[in-house]
Structure 1
Amino acid sequence: MRQLLVFEERDDAEEAAETVAEWHPWLGIPKVVRETLAGEDDAEAAQWLVVVEDPDDRLTREDLTRLDELAEQAGGWREQE
């Protein structure tokens, strides 16, 4: 399962990626990528994503709650793919 933590600021995304790697070293360091919002031409409308790959579905409900809280601290949110 893939979890996406969405942030407006790159610094927040990079900090969250480091935190996730500390909490769950078996996941490795999540990728930080920039995604432009659909229909937006303005570069300022881009979001920063922390891509948390969990191919074995090892993250528990409690882990997902912690990811939600981590994202929310910086005004972000979590999406599941």
Structure 2
Amino acid sequence: MRQLLVFGEREDAEEVAETLGEWFPGLGVPRVVRETLAGEDDAEDAQWLVVVEGLHEQALGQVDELVERYDGWREPE
């Protein structure tokens, strides 16, 4: 199942992606993508997503703790 980790800052998303790549080397480094909020013209209102595929259910608690440290959240897709 794919997980989307959502952050307000690009740097936070990149740090989390690198950390997850270290914690779960079999997954590689997850992609970081920019998502503009619907209806928003201001580029400052974009969210940054870390796209993670292949995580085991047991790892989600650990991932949630990491994401919360960076004021983000996880959305299963």
Q: By the TM > 0.5 criterion, same fold?
A: yes
| 1:59 alignment partner in structure 2 | 56
Letter paired with 2:9: E
Helix, strand or coil for the counterpart of 2:38? coil
Letter paired with 2:43: A
Helix, strand or coil for the counterpart of 1:38? coil
Residues 26-60 of structure 1, C-alpha deviations (whole Å, 9 max, x = no match): 11110000000111111111000000011xxx513
CA RMSD between the two structures: 1.0
| 1:38 alignment partner in structure 2 | 38
Q: So what's the TM-score if we normalise by structure 2?
A: 0.94
Unaligned runs of 5+ in 2: none
TM-superposed deviation, 1:67:
1.0
Unaligned runs of 5+ in 1: none
Q: So what's the TM-score if we normalise by structure 1?
A: 0.89
- Provide the C-alpha distance between the structure 2 equivalents of 1:22 and 1:60, rounded to a whole number of angstroms: 18
Helix, strand or coil for the counterpart of 2:56? coil
**In structure 1, which of residues 65, 74, 77 is the aligned counterpart of residue 73 of structure 2?**
77
| 2:47 alignment partner in structure 1 | 47
When the two structures are aligned, how many residues end up with a matched partner? 77
